[in-house]
Amino acid sequence: MKDDRGELDLSKQIEDKDELIHELRQRINELLAIGKSHQQLMGEQIQQNEELKRDNKLLAKQVNDYFNVRSK
**Domain that residue 22 falls in:** 18-72
- Determine, yes or no, domain membership for 59: yes
pLDDT digits (tens, 9 = 90+) for 8-47: 788 888 989 999 999 999 999 999 999 999 999 999 999 9
Q: How many domains does the chain have?
A: 1
- Cβ contacts of residue 13 below 8 Å, gap of 6+? 7
Q: 11 vs 3, 15, 23, 61, CA distance in Å? A: 12, 6, 18, 75
- Determine, yes or no, domain membership for 10: no
Reported confidence tier of residue 1, pLDDT bands at 50, 70, 90 = low
- Determine, yes or no, domain membership for 6: no
- Cβ contacts of residue 11 below 8 Å, gap of 6+? 5
| CA pair distance 72, 70, nearest whole angstrom | 6
pLDDT at residue number 43: 97
- Determine, yes or no, domain membership for 46: yes
Q: Average pLDDT of 38-60?
A: 98
Query: What is the value of pTM for the model shown?
Result: 0.62
Residue pair 10/3 in contact by the 8 Å Cβ criterion? no
